[in-house]
Structure 1
Amino acid sequence: MGFVLAPTCVSEGFRLEAHDKVGSTNALALERARDGDPGRLWIVSKQQDSGRGRRGRAWATPPGNLAATLLLVTGGDLRTAATLGFVAGLALADALNAAVPNGRFAIAPDGGSGAGRKRFELKWPNDVLAEGAKLAGILLESSVLGQDRCAIAVGIGVNVVAYPDDVPYPATSLRALGATCEAETLFLALSDAWSENARLWNEGRGLTEIRRRWLSRAAGLGSQVAVRVDGNVVRGVFETIDEDCRFVIRDDRGDVLTIAAGDVHFGAVASAGAA
């Protein structure tokens, strides 16, 4: 089958642009916005060769994996739009649960928050884990269009058939975990789950419920973490995310620290030091 949108998504005015291969779905989405696209456009591919992750890191997508970007054009403030990353995480977790049959995964990589607690967990701020290993990443990028309009590219990359082996953290793919789901099937479920979670988010008015749902799937909640922030490593217990979805930890002195951006490490890495 090819890529298709869920009927709920079509009924809400979303459109689809599918490719066999692209440079970057995020870059293409922002290009469409600058050319006048009104948004609500999904751009998808099973291969991209110049994708990006957080902090400019490369994120290649070999054939068979899923690269998807939703372009939204909004007049709202960027602070509220930034919380769409949590909407995307919830939508992807819902889609994975719908598209991947129940059953125990074939392997349980080390280094996560405790294998078996949930099949898919959300790691602050933008990863989806499967039994402790990174399965997917989310990247939001924006571009000011003028006249109080802004383009938001919600990029989602999923390791469906392959995962990188040259990264400093555990990674996995659906295939490595014993699942037979294809990129097209997962995207169909994702487009449906996005509509449901975006309605709940309600332009930011429903962020309290999004936060509650996100925390119910949070990886490492209540455990020791190490967070690399601007070259420094902060350690403590992951307590919650606040009303603005910032990471909140309590350090060894009992002080509460709120972190807006950083790289989070769990388990043995948190104890020994964040690489």
Structure 2
Amino acid sequence: MTGFALSPIAEQNGFRLEAFETIGSTNAVALERAQAGDPGKLWIVSKKQASGRGRRGRAWSSPEGNLAASLLLTGNLELKSAATLGFVAGLSLADALNAVCPSANFSVGIDGASNAGAGKSPLRVELKWPNDLLAGGAKLAGILLESTLMADGHLAVVIGIGVNVVAYPQDVPYPATSLARLGANCDAETVFLALSDAWEENYRIWANGRGLSDIRKRWLSQAAGIGSEVAVRIDGAVLRGIFETIDEDCQFVIRDNDGVRQKIAAGDVHFGTVASANAE
């Protein structure tokens, strides 16, 4: 038996939960449920994921004790608006972490530099475009959206969320961290309970895309790297400049080294010294 549970408000609003001790991929199971005709509003969660995946087909490590959660949504979703659900998920996870892990010992800065010994401070969760969460500049969580067409022709969207609760990957070309490393005393069940609760508020604001402008404002208030040097890898090329904002469609806006404003719909973003080292 797992200890996962939905928040009371999530249950009241018709969300359901399937919890597993271990799973191959929560996203894969959620997609299977969609193709079998599941009505949606279904969370799939586990503390151990054997074959999780991240953006662009990358593996996402999720050992025992980390959180792997996927939310299946169906109904009258349009692909363009559904693509912005990653921003809803990022805000919801940030809200959840700030609620249940109020303090931590940060040791990694936004540019990868060490701040060891800085002591306890409020948990500064930052949102990194498009779908990562950072704590002290190091990757703490990632979000992956996938979609499929159901038999009735409706779009089904799966929002996958992976949180480094007790462990983080070591063999990655960017700083990474976990809640345990940051000194936060939270387990996967506690994080998920808060996440299922926070999702309700942000999903209500999003309102099937009609409230995206409000989501955008909230996201920008917690965004990582605004005003800093950035490198964005796009299909093998690297664009460098200053991260200015995200536009009304949540595209990444950068002022390049020639002073030209560029809008980017998809790409890998690197800040500071991490950009110099890893975006070549």
Q: Place the TM-score, normalised by the shorter chain, in its bin.
A: over 0.9
CA contact (8 A) 1:65 1:183 kept: yes
Which stretch of structure 1 is more off in the superposition, 46-55 or 1-10?
A: 1-10
Pairing 1:264–2:265 present: no
TM-fit CA distance, 1:76 = 2.2
Task: Determine which of 127, 132, 147 is the counterpart of 1:122.
Answer: 127
- TM-score normalized by the length of structure 2: 0.94
Report the 3-state secondary structure (helix = DSSP H, G, I; strand = E; otherwise coil) of the residue aligned with 2:168. Answer: coil
CA shift in 2, pair 1:180/1:273, >3 Å: closer
CA distance, structure 1, for counterparts of residue 113 and residue 6 of structure 2: 33
Displacement of 1:101: 2.7
Matches within 5 A, 1:210-229: 210-229=215-234
How many residues are matched? 274
1:145 Cα deviation after fit: 1.2
Identity within the alignment, %: 66
1:93-119: CA deviation from partner (whole Å, max 9, x where unpaired)? 0000011033x4242346259988971
Alignment-derived partner of residue 105 in structure 1: 105
Unpaired runs of at least 5, structure 2: 116-120
TM-score by length of 1: 0.95
Residue 32 to residue 272, structure 1, CA distance change in 2 (3 Å):
closer
CA contact 1:201–1:207 (8 Å) conserved in 2: yes
2:252 is matched with 247
- Residues 102 and 123 in structure 2, CA contact (< 8 A), matched pair in contact too: no
**Deviation digits for residues 38-82 of structure 1, max 9, x if unmatched?**
000000000001010000000121000000000001222101000
1: CA distance, partners of 2:244 / 2:72 = 33
Superposed CA offset, 1:14-51 (max 9, x none): 00000000000000001011111100000000000101
Equivalent residues in 2 for 1:1-275, closer than 5 Å: 2-102=3-103, 104-109=104-109, 111=111, 119-271=124-276, 274-275=279-280
Instruction: Return 42-51 or 142-151, whichever deviates more.
Output: 142-151
> Take 1:61 and 1:169, find their aligned partners in 2: how far apart are those partners?
17
For the aligned residue pairs, the C-alpha RMSD in angstroms reads 1.8
The answer to whether the Cα contact below 8 Å between 1:114 and 1:131 also exists between their aligned partners in 2 is no
Q: Which runs of 5+ in 1 are unaligned?
A: none
Measured after TM superposition, the shift of residue 151 of structure 1 is 1.0
For 1:244, what is the secondary structure of its paired residue? coil
